[in-house]
Amino acid sequence: MLRVGLTGGIGSGKSTVSGRLAELGAVVIDSDLLAREVVAPGTDGLRDVVAAFGEGVLAEDGSLDRPALAKIVFSDDDARRTLNAIVHPRVGARTGEMMAAAPSDAIVVHDVPLLVENGMAPAYHLVLVVDTPVEERVRRLVAARGMAEADARSRIAAQASDEQRRAAADVWLDNGGERAVVLAEVDGLWERRLLPFEANTREQRVHRVGAPKIVDYDPAWPAQAARLIARVQAATGGAPVEHIGSTSIPGLAAKDIVDLQVGVDSLEEADKLAHALAEAGFPRCPEALSDTALPSHPDPELWRKRVHCSADPGRPVNLHVRVREWPAWRYALVFRDWMRTHPHEVTAYAALKRELAPAFAADGGATRYADAKDPWMHAALARAVAWAGGHADRSW
Ligand code: ADP
């Protein structure tokens, strides 16, 4: 099963997108709809709301008078907390039931207007954000939903900003144009990313990246890494995770693969995390068992690691699960920190990559390319360690 979070500001087009995803075969869980269902006439949710706020929140037909309730909770934090304590657990329970009832090969799309505001993004394999410029959203809400303009604007202002949503978005769907444009994008996303991501995750298969291809530094890499780190931490119960490797060094051309380092106390602990990582979309890569031992720490046992890779065809990732304080863990960090502070080394490393990668362009993977970089890498590590010796209080 693939869990996809879908969000966006009011009037951005979430329902438009989730409707298309449902047509394509997704199981859509609409949190707004559930929030209404759990206080529908005859439910114990509605009974508790009436017990808390009085008969005045009921309409004549016995259903919830939403505007009356909104008036009470809008300006009173305690009242809002009371209402949330009635509604949220019930919505959570229904969501859990619906997820559990979905087939094992389902792509579940969870439509949550306040996904970003509530910090829910790390729980999903992928977060889609639908965006439409504010003025266009106001226009649509007024024209199509008959909302008062002031009401539309105040609702928009109360929600997360575009920046906050952008930080949470693995996929940014621009719905500022014709409906057909965003729908075509959704179709492509379904076919090229969601379907293979789901199948890979279910079969615990990583997405193969192939021959090394060097691209210019992408300023979006740090934000992508931050999202992945939050996801890995959610899956591992809070393991320390660091962005390492070339994509963590500003300005450095690199393969478009985000390297993360997950810290554990032992390889047994790494093995215990394997299932949770695979379930979160990072199955084990069986072939990469060790880093190359360096002469300063010749014991091969100290260089063993577990590697997980991404099942997502849209975002290649290598997760190096290493024992904290073993040499490879520390080398990765010192190399990153040294490169970040030595721009001429970044230039030299980029030139080496650009020179070597084409020679291995016909390879099925990046192993021979990595081997070819080793001599430069070892010499660079020695310089990095010498630098760290003057800055860190531990011996290398
Ligand atoms: P949300 O679920 O995010 O609040 P909706 O999908 O309901 O947003 O879209 C808000 C309104 O704008 C709806 O009436 C919808 O039909 C309309 N709408 C959505 N996308 C477009 C578009 N690309 N062009 C014009 N109108 C649109």
**Whether the model pTM is above 0.85:** yes
Please work out whether the CB of residue 12 comes within 6 Å of at least one atom of ligand 1: yes
Please work out whether the CB of residue 247 comes within 6 Å of at least one atom of ligand 1: no
**107-111 and 2-7 strand pairing:** parallel
Q: Kindly give the distance from the C-alpha atom of residue 303 to the centroid of ligand 1, in angstroms, as a whole number.
A: 54
List, as residue ranges, the binding site for ATP. 11-16
Q: Closest Cα to atom 13, ligand 1: which residue?
A: 144
Two structure tokens written together for 278: 């695979």
Please work out whether the CB of residue 113 comes within 6 Å of at least one atom of ligand 1: no
Q: Consecutive 10-residue runs of the chain (396 residues): their mean pLDDT?
A: 96 97 98 97 97 96 94 90 96 96 98 94 98 96 93 91 94 97 98 98 92 93 97 97 98 96 97 97 85 85 94 97 94 96 96 92 86 92 88 50
CA atoms within 13 A on the CB side of 387: 18
334 burial class (0-12, 13-18, 19+ CB within 10 angstroms)?
buried
Rounded to an integer, what distance in angstroms lies between the CA atom of residue 339 and that of residue 324? 21
Q: Closest Cα to atom 19, ligand 1: which residue?
A: 13
Residues 6+ apart with CB under 8 A from 234: 122, 123, 280
Rounded to an integer, what distance in angstroms lies between the CA atom of residue 389 and that of residue 386? 5
Please work out whether the CB of residue 156 comes within 6 Å of at least one atom of ligand 1: no
Rounded to an integer, what distance in angstroms lies between the CA atom of residue 111 and that of residue 141? 18
List, as residue ranges, the binding site. 11-16
SS3 380: helix
What is the structure's pLDDT at 391? 58
Residues 6+ apart with CB under 8 A from 351: none
DSSP 291: P
All domains of the chain in start order, with CATH = 2-202 (3.40.50.300), 214-389 (3.30.460.10)
Rounded to an integer, what distance in angstroms lies between the CA atom of residue 122 and that of residue 91? 19
Rounded to an integer, what distance in angstroms lies between the CA atom of residue 358 and that of residue 342? 26
CA atoms within 13 A on the CB side of 79: 15
Amino acid 201 reads: T
**258-264 and 241-244 strand pairing:** antiparallel
Amino acid 205 reads: R
Predicted confidence (pLDDT) per residue in 67-91, tens digit? 899 889 988 999 999 999 999 999 9
Please work out whether the CB of residue 140 comes within 6 Å of at least one atom of ligand 1: yes
Rounded to an integer, what distance in angstroms lies between the CA atom of residue 182 and that of residue 27? 19
Predicted confidence (pLDDT) per residue in 241-263, tens digit? 999 999 999 999 999 999 999 99
Two structure tokens written together for 189: 């996303």
Please work out whether the CB of residue 179 comes within 6 Å of at least one atom of ligand 1: yes
Q: Closest Cα to atom 5, ligand 1: which residue?
A: 13
